[in-house]
Chains A and B, each alone.
Chain A
Amino acid sequence: MTTDAALRAPLHRWRRRARLLPKGWDNAVGQVLMMIVSLICVFPVYWMIVTSLRPENEIFSSALWSDAVSLDNYAYALGTMPMVRMLVNTFTVSLVVTPVQLLTGILAGYAFARWRFRGAGFLFGAIALTWLVPLQVVMIPNYLLVARMGMIDSLGALILPHVASAFAIMLLAQAMRSFPSEVIEAARMDGATHAHILWQLIVPNLRGTLAPLAILIFITTWNEYFWPLLLTRSPENSVVQIGLQMFITAEGTQWGPLMAASTMASLPILLIYLVLQRQVIASFMKSGLR
């Protein structure tokens, strides 16, 4: 890099002051700092997996690795709790919410990006503001609404409030605004309808935005905890996030099975992350940079 040459330039009168510390110390400090922070970030996940694989008599061992690997905790967790059912439920909810939220986002985004209409600014603002309404503020009316619909303890109620998200709409509206309008005009001249333009021209070209967004929606839905906590009554109709809690009891916590269940609850997300790390990071980055 040219910056290195510039760094070593003799012009560095300021550098002399910092000579108290050996050259490159900041880089070394950075390295050490990053190693510590990385360790703190990853170790709990590692410890979760290691604990889940320990045989019962070694649960309280503090050895960083045990030679005796046992799947007893998994067997126990699967046996006492309908874990498979819960995992399937979580998958179902996430797999329904993701395309639906993309669909409503694409439609709304297209409306904001392509047309000028009365109330556009107001509607956009009203949608953006929903981001600021904490779920705890509207939880009672939402709960009562679900109760009136007779949908307490059902997967449908877990899906319905997530039919649309302000974030998806804003992100897609922005992406569609920057879509080259010449291309769209050319398509219109050829007689393409709006549906054609949207589904055959814009959407296939927005894959770079849609894929990370889909990952983000999937992970967010998978991880959701508060709304299922309000609604589910029976383990068979609940998601895996709720199931975890059932291993924590007043009489004591069954650490082995709890860690096994935790591993199962985070495994799909961790696998997605391992395979699609770049896209996952990009998707979260987009959520912060608007």
Chain B
Amino acid sequence: MSDAPSRVHVSWPGQARRRNTPLRRGDRALRPYLYLLPAVACFVIWVYQPLFEAFMLSFRQWNMLPVSPKHWVGLDNYCNILELPKFWQALSNTWYYLLGLIPLAVGLPLVIALFTQDLPPRLRNLYRGLIFVPMIIPPVVAAAVWRWLLDPGHGIINLGLQKLGSSPVDFPYDPDITLWTITFITGWKLVGFATLILSAADAAIDTSQIEAARLDGASKWEIIRDIRLPLLSPTLMLLILMVVLLGAQWSFAYIHVLTEGGPLGSTTNIYYLLWQFGFGSLSVGWSSASAVTLFVGVGVGVGFGLLAAALFALKSKVTFHDD
């Protein structure tokens, strides 16, 4: 420690003097915890304790009325939801949401970020400013506006389609396309944000490598494939992780305002199902059991995802000596 640089080796003149009194010492040891107390208390009360409570409630049968008893039913809730076609439908719908969101919230932004890198800064900022607008709009407003735009009778999109000779499309009510409608709206909201993050990562790439590749005669596409994409991959992984973890949750407002999970459960994803179990049919046990199942599933998924990301980062570090 003594030969560590002075920046790391911190020693205050007052330190030795204060350490002498035991009272002072206890005070000092407690201080970090005091600073952390408000935040930690908030998380214990609103996240960790409820997580435990949800786990406990998943073994009970209860309808949320304070007067009615909470029956212990063991693993029955888990057995019941796993036998429910609705549960599996919601899970597969969640999967479709994520599948549809990846190209919209990661693929398209990547293309935009790569295409706009050479635009004059002023123009680029204008475009970025415009495509960012959906991100800041309240989700319910977005849902209401899209409901209006897509209205089968009077929505501007259907009026346009009719002018082009197509029959009106029942965007929010046709079970075959509703899920993609909601996915599109969720993606619409994210494009600007994802583009921004990818552009920032793109701008941070060391230009000397690109310059060198250009001088060696590499085409724009080769530069993208061999330099930009590999260097962007950590950011891409982060975005994909974000979409996988949060994407289906973000669609809640759109589902709730546009379809309420219907028609025939075709737009119900697992997060919406939790809401329906809990506050629609007041089956606390089912909702909690699904929540625990989901949480464990997500936990395992994230564990694998992080592992994959770490391996990926390690690999790219080994392959490209960019630090």
Q: Which residue of A lies closest to B216 (CB)?
A: A11
Is B200's CB under 8 angstroms from A289's CB?
yes
Q: Mark A117-133, 1 if CB is under 8 A from B, else 0.
A: 10010010011001011
Q: Mark B247-259, 1 if CB is under 8 A from A, else 0.
A: 0010011001100
Give which listed residue, A15, A62, A141, A147, contacts B49 with CB less than 8 A. Answer: A141
Is A230's CB under 8 angstroms from B145's CB?
no
Contacting residues, chain A, for B38 (C-beta < 8 A): 103-104, 107-108, 163-164
Q: Which residues of chain B (236-251) have a CB below 8 Å from chain A?
A: 238-239, 242, 245, 249
With A141-B50, A161-B42, A259-B148 already in contact, the answer to whether A266 and B141 are too (CB < 8 A) is yes
Please tell me if B320 contacts chain A, counting CB pairs below 8 Å.
no
Give which listed residue, A6, A30, A137, A166, contacts B291 with CB less than 8 A. Answer: A137
Is B128's CB under 8 angstroms from A33's CB?
no
Is B159's CB under 8 angstroms from A62's CB?
yes
Q: Which residue of B lies closest to A138 (CB)?
A: B50
Among B39, B45, B216, the most chain A Cβ lie within 10 Å of the Cβ of B39
Instruction: Tell which of B8-16, B75-83, B175-183, B307-315 binds the partner.
Output: B8-16
Please tell me if A71 contacts chain B, counting CB pairs below 8 Å.
no
Please tell me if B1 contacts chain A, counting CB pairs below 8 Å.
no
Q: Mark A132-167, 1 if CB is under 8 A from B, else 0.
A: 111111111110110100000000000011011010
Is A33's CB under 8 angstroms from B111's CB?
yes
Is B131's CB under 8 angstroms from A41's CB?
yes
With A107-B39, A164-B42 already in contact, the answer to whether A130 and B137 are too (CB < 8 A) is no
Contacting residues, chain A, for B292 (C-beta < 8 A): 137
Alpha-carbon distance between A222 and B146 when the two chains are bound, in angstroms: 20
Is B39's CB under 8 angstroms from A108's CB?
yes
Contacting residues, chain A, for B284 (C-beta < 8 A): 140
Q: How far is the CB of B76 from chain A (nearest CB, A)?
A: 18
Please tell me if A74 contacts chain B, counting CB pairs below 8 Å.
no
Please tell me if B278 contacts chain A, counting CB pairs below 8 Å.
yes
Is A44's CB under 8 angstroms from B116's CB?
no
Alpha-carbon distance between A30 and B220 when the two chains are bound, in angstroms: 14
Is A62's CB under 8 angstroms from B156's CB?
yes
Contacting residues, chain B, for A245 (C-beta < 8 A): 140, 257
Please tell me if B154 contacts chain A, counting CB pairs below 8 Å.
yes
With A225-B253, A277-B129 already in contact, the answer to whether A285 and B197 are too (CB < 8 A) is yes
Alpha-carbon distance between A78 and B140 when the two chains are bound, in angstroms: 18
Alpha-carbon distance between A14 and B217 when the two chains are bound, in angstroms: 6
Contacting residues, chain B, for A26 (C-beta < 8 A): 115, 220
Show 15 A/B contacts (Cβ-Cβ < 8 Å), sorted by A: A44-B149, A60-B154, A104-B38, A108-B39, A123-B40, A132-B298, A135-B249, A140-B50, A141-B51, A188-B14, A225-B253, A245-B140, A262-B140, A277-B129, A285-B200
Contacts A137-B292, A140-B57 supplied; 16 other A-B pairs, CB < 8 Å:
A3-B207, A3-B211, A37-B191, A105-B39, A108-B40, A111-B32, A126-B43, A139-B278, A189-B13, A219-B136, A241-B140, A244-B144, A262-B140, A266-B137, A281-B132, A289-B197
Give the A-binding residues of B (Cβ under 8 A): 7, 10, 12-14, 29, 31-33, 35-36, 38-40, 42-43, 45-51, 53-54, 57, 64, 66, 108, 111-112, 115-116, 118-119, 127-142, 144-149, 151, 154, 156, 159-160, 188, 191-193, 196-197, 200-201, 207, 210-211, 214-222, 235, 238-239, 242, 245, 249, 252-253, 256-257, 271, 274-275, 278-279, 284, 287-288, 291-292, 294-295, 298-299, 302
Give the B-binding residues of A (Cβ under 8 A): 2-3, 6-7, 9, 11-15, 17-18, 26-27, 29-31, 33-34, 37-38, 40-42, 44-45, 47-48, 51, 59-60, 62, 103-105, 107-108, 110-112, 114-115, 117, 120, 123, 126-127, 130, 132-142, 144-145, 147, 160-161, 163-164, 166, 169, 181-182, 185, 188-189, 191, 194, 219, 222-223, 225-226, 229-230, 241-242, 244-245, 247-248, 253, 255, 258-259, 262, 265-266, 269-270, 273, 277, 280-281, 284-285, 288-289
